[in-house]
A and B are shown apart, each in its own frame.
Chain A
Amino acid sequence: MILNGVEIRDTFAEAFPMVGTRLIVTADTPEWALTAGRTTTGFATSVIGCGCEAGIERVLAPEETPDGRPGVSLLIFAMDFKQLKTVVPLRLGQCVLTCPTTACYAGIETGKRVPLAKTIRYFADGHQISKKIGDGKGAGMRFWRLPVMEGEFVCDEDTGSVDGVGGGNFLILARSRAAALKAAEAAVAAMGTVGGVILPFPGGVVRSGSKVGSKYKGLFASTNDAYCPTLRGTRPSALPPEVGSVLEIVIDGVSFEAVSEATRVGITAVCALGAEGGVVAVDAGNYGGNLGPFHFKLREIMKDSAGGAA
C-alpha cells in the first residue's frame, strides 16, 4: 500500500493488556494545571523502567471540570491493578498535592477503584475533612479536603479503572533526522485530537525503539538494531538504503478502538507530508504476534484512507 508516496508496510503493531485510570486535575490557571499534569506524568514513558506509562490526554476548559477551573485529563497505565494502585497515590501525593492551587478528581466512574485521597488523606494528620453530599451514589461523590499551607487540597476519594491497551505503535522511516522529526511532530499534533489515548514518550515520540532481550544479562530490552541506520549492512536491517532516520510513536489507550483510531490519525498525518516531505515508509513494531493479544494491522487500519492506491 502506497499513500502519497509513503509505503505502508504489510505488518502490524503488537500491543498488550494494561490497566488504566484517568485523573482530572484542575488549578487556578491553565498553566498550573499543565504544570501539575506534566509533573504527574513525568518519568512515565515505559513500564520497563518507570512502573507505569502516563500522559496528558487533553486540556480541559473550565466548564468541563468538576470545580469550574481550567484542568487537564491524565491517563495512567500499569501492567496490573496492584501496580496501578501503587503508582497512582504516589504520583498524586508527590506531584498534585504539592502543586499550587490544584485539585484532583475521578475521571472514570466504573471499574475497580483506584485510591486517591483514600490513601493520601493521612497527610492532613487528622485535620482532613470528608464530604459526601446528596443522594447520588456515583463514583467521586465522596471527596476530601486536606488543609495545606496554601489553603486546602480538594481530592476525590478514589477513581475508577479500565482494561486498556498498551504499546500500540508505528515507526516513521524517513530520509533524514529532520524529516523524521517533522513527520513525528505532525503525527503527535494530529493524535492529540483523539480521546482515550496518550503518547507516553517525550513529546509523544521515541527515538530509541527497542527489541526484546539483550546480549547482556539482566537487560529486558535493547536497541532495535534492525532499525538503526548506522548499523545497516552490519546487521540484518529493515531499512532500505534511502532511510536515514527512524522515529516511533507509542500509543496507550483505554480501548482497542481508541488506539486504532489514534494510529489511523497519526499515520494519516505522516502520509500527508508524503514522499516530498522525506517520509519513506511507515512500519510497526511486533514480536511475531506471539506475545501481545492486540494486533493493529497497518494496512487494515489505513484501508479507508488508501483511496484505491496500492
Chain B
Amino acid sequence: MTNSNFSRRRVLKTGAIASAGLALPTYLRADGHTGFTNAPGDSEVTLGFNVPQTGPYADEGADELRAYELAVEHLNGGGDGGMLSTFSSKVLDGTGILGREVKYVTGDTQTKSDAARASARSMIEKDGAIMITGGSSSGVAVAVQALCQEAGIIFMAGLTHSNDTTGKDRRANGFRHFFNSYMSGAALAPVLAANYGTDRKAYHLTADYNWGYTTEEAVKSSTEALGWETVNAVKTPLTQTDFSSYIAPVLNSGADVLVLNHYGGNMVNSLTNAVQFGLREAQANGQNFEIIVPLYSRLMAKGAGANVKGIFGSTNWHWSLQDEGSKAFVQSFGTKYGFPPSQAAHTTYVQTLLYADAVTRANSFNPCAVVEALEDFEFDGLGNGKTLYRGADHQCFKDVLVVKGKENPENEFDLLEIVEVTPVEQVTYAPDHPQFAGGDLGTCNPGA
C-alpha cells in the first residue's frame, strides 16, 4: 500500500457515484412483515414443480411435468379447462389463483433427497415459490415435505406410495393425494382370495428400501388376515438388474405365490426373470403358481411387455376410467400431448387443482389458512369418485383400483384392465394404525 494517491478529481468522482448509489431507494429488512413466507404480489403467483428429470424415474417425472403445465394452463383460463368443470368445488374460474396469474418454475430432483431439497430451496429462496409439489419417490417426498415444513411452504406430494409419507414422517404443511402401501394391500387381498383361494403360501421379493418395507408389511398383513401363509421374504438391492439368483430358490421353497414388491425398472426386470424361469406355467402344492405386483403403473406395464398379462396389482388411477372427471382429463391431456396420461400425471394435476381451490376457498395464500381449507375437505369429480382429505394425517381417502395385465391389448397404452374398484371404506384405517404409528403432524408453519 505505497501508491494510494487521492487526487481531488478522484475523490469528487467517487463521491458523486456513491451519492448516486445512496439516492436509489434503499431499504434493509429482515423477513417477517408479511406474516408468511413468499407472499405473492398482486399480479402473479409462482408455484414450484420439483420432479425427477434425470435418473431412474425420469419417465414419471416427465409425465408429471406435462400434467403440471396442463394444470397451469387450465387455472389461467387456457385450453378446455379439463377437470375444472367436473370438480365438485366451483370456485376456480380460470382467472388464475385469487386473480393472480399462475407462473411456475421447474427443478430436477434427480430422485435424490439432497438434490431435491437443494432444488426446492432455490425455488423458495430465489424464485419466491409459494407452494412446492412433485417428486416420484417416497424418500424425496419425505425430505422435501420436511423442508417445506421448516420453511413455511405448502407441499403437495406427487407420486409417493410409502406409508411413511403420511405415517411416521407426516407433516402439517404436507398433503398426499396418492394412495399408499396399506391401501394397496387392503384392496388387493380380497381380490386375491377370490381368485386364488385362501390356502396359499406367499414368497416376497422386496426392494431393499423404505417403500419396499412398508409395501411388504402391508401385503403380508392383509393376505395373512385372509388365511395366507408367508413362506419367506427376501430383500433385493435397489440397484439389482438381474433377479435370476433370487427367483431360482422360489420354486423349491414350497410357495405357490410370488409377490414382487418392486417398482419401476426393478419390477420390469424381476417380473421378466420370473416369467423366463417358467413360474407362470409351474404348479406348486397342486395349484397354479401365481405372481402379484402390488403397485402397478402403465409405464411399468409398458416396460414389462407381454409378461404382465393376467398379473394382479393395484393402481391409483387409470385413464380408461369412465367417470366425467377422468374423461375430461384424458381428453385435454390427449389433445395437448397425443397420448393418455399416467397415474403420476393424474395425481399431480389433481394436487395442483386442489391447492388452487383451497387457496381460493380460504381467500388467502397463508399456508395455515390453506391447511385449514384442505383438512377434512370432501370433494368429487377429480377421477377417483368421492374423496376425503383427512385432517388427522393429510392423506386422501378414495376408492382404489385393482388391475390386471390385459390379455389382448388393443394398443400400446391399453395394457391394464380394471378388475375391481375397491370402495373407500375397505381401505380406510385409523390414523394411529400400527403401520402408520409414530408420526406427529405438528402444527402448520406459515414461515417468516
**Are A and B bound to each other?**
no
Interface residues of B (CB under 8 A from A): none
Interface residues of A (CB under 8 A from B): none
